[in-house]
Amino acid sequence: MHNVRQICEDTWWVGASDRRLELFENNYPTPEGMSYNSFVIMDEKTCLLDGIDNAVRDQLFENLAHVLGGRPLDYLVVDHMEPDHCAAIPDLVRRYPELKLVASMQGFRIMGQFYPDLDVESRKIVVKEGDTLELGRHTLRFITAPMVHWPEVIMSFDVHTGALFSADAFGEFGALGGNLFADEVKWTRTYAREARRYYANIVGKYGPQTLAVLAKAAKFDLKYIFPLHGHLWRQDFDRILLRYQKWASYTPEYDSVCIFYGSVYGHTANAADILAAKLAERGLKNVRVYDSSKTDVSELVSRAFQYSTLVFASSTYNLDIFDGMDHFVQDLVKHNMRNRTVAIIENGSWSPQAGALLKQRLGRMSNVQILDPMVKIKSSVTEDDVEQLDALADAIVEDLAR
């Protein structure tokens, strides 16, 4: 049975949610599932903007057939050629044999890689920056958005309604519950965290490219923002756009401290908690502490995007950084994290190595200031170690006051 909603003039949401999904891209935990947004514009010509994931493909077909009401589907705009948005393309072509496909040149190249047997040449329309597609009253103007977060990405702006179909930008993890628009839910309290986790892990490596797209979007008279995942926007755009401005420029949301630790028997964890308490005693608010072995790395990366000062506390393990912490640090480097102040706590019982290795690996990130002193613990925390933690707390507070 169909499940659709009209979201602006002549435009319908025909997407679906998959609440069974546990790992998005087989990598990122999605305890509340995932939404997949697709849209139809009904004009003199009919146009579907983006397909859907294979898991909810049948729902798209039912939704689409209901909205079309027996009319043919004239165009499919492929803003993003990733499988969670393009799995339906071969079936759509079979169901609507006159369908024209609209994508960037690189989009068609990738389409040919996923579907080598699909007849693309007879139906493709290649678009580039500034090109338009006339549907009747509605005109789609195309914006190239390379590396947000794939190289072929385009966005589509409906000149008539002011709707920006923004591909994977401005999305979030989680299924939708019927309230499609961000203003219909307590978005800041409930969903902003998942929007940051989504950005940091999916798009976060490509900050400069995201800033370039934000500059393009600022030139349009936006009335709606329709991403491919998560809630839709029709007001309060700054709630998402200003967050993207911060995240894409690697500007922290909080001038405070997030402490991450990797601890085998609890002694390194104890040092992390002692430091957190000492920072609180010095008046610092919003201090957070995370166990890198227990907390999924996607959440750790998200918190690193949120905080200005990051403390890494690690046991030495197999003469290296403890496993969960090592994975986390490598992920930060891969996501081009920058513009942070960091501090290091190491622990080791006979051959401490974690501190030097953390300093080396964190030093690969751009514009990172590593604070002194590095706290060095041997096995358990002693009174001398507490003095080191006091000194580090003083250094962190002094740095934040600048």
pLDDT tens, 60-86? 999 999 999 999 999 999 999 999 999
pLDDT at 281 (0 to 100): 98
Average pLDDT over residues 260-287: 97
pLDDT at 228 (0 to 100): 97
Whole-angstrom distance, CA of residue 338 vs CA of residue 335: 9
* Cα–Cα distances in angstroms (integers) from residue 218 to residues 146, 152, 183, 282, in the given order: 17, 21, 21, 41
pLDDT at 55 over 90: yes
b or e along 283-318 (b: 16 or more beta carbons within 10 Å of the residue's beta carbon)? ebeebebbbbbeebbbbbbbbbbbbbbbbbbbbbbe
pLDDT at 401 (0 to 100): 94
Q: Quick check: 50 and 77 in contact, CB under 8 A?
A: yes
pLDDT at 85 (0 to 100): 94
pLDDT tens, 1-21? 899 999 999 999 999 999 999
Is the bond into 373 cis (omega within 30 degrees of 0)?
A: yes
User: What DSSP string runs through 269-291?
Assistant: HHHHHHHHHHHHHTT--S-EEEE
Average pLDDT over residues 101-112: 97
pLDDT at 336 (0 to 100): 94
Average pLDDT over residues 258-283: 98
Mean pLDDT of the chain: 96
pLDDT at 402 over 90: no
Domains of the chain: 5-248 (3.60.15.10), 257-395 (3.40.50.360)
Whole-angstrom distance, CA of residue 107 vs CA of residue 146: 11
In terms of phi and psi (left: phi > 0; alpha: psi -120 to 50; beta: otherwise), the region of 263 is beta
Alpha carbon 263 to its chain centroid, in Å, reads 28
Whole-angstrom distance, CA of residue 327 vs CA of residue 331: 6
Amino acid at 244: Y
Give the CA angle between residues 208, 211, 215 to the nearest 5°: 140
Share of the chain above pLDDT 70, in %: 100
pLDDT at 211 (0 to 100): 96
Structure tokens at 135: 């549907």
pLDDT tens, 157-199? 999 999 999 999 999 999 999 999 999 999 999 999 999 999 9
pLDDT tens, 113-150? 999 999 899 999 999 999 999 999 999 999 999 999 99
Whole-angstrom distance, CA of residue 107 vs CA of residue 126: 9
Query: For residue 28, what pLDDT band results from cuts at 50, 70 and 90?
Result: very high
pTM confidence score = 0.95
HSE at residue 340, side-chain half, CA atoms within 13 A, is: 30
Of 299, 290, 293, residue with least CA distance to 272: 290
pLDDT tens, 308-358? 999 999 999 999 999 999 999 999 999 999 999 999 999 999 999 999 999
Average pLDDT over residues 239-249: 97
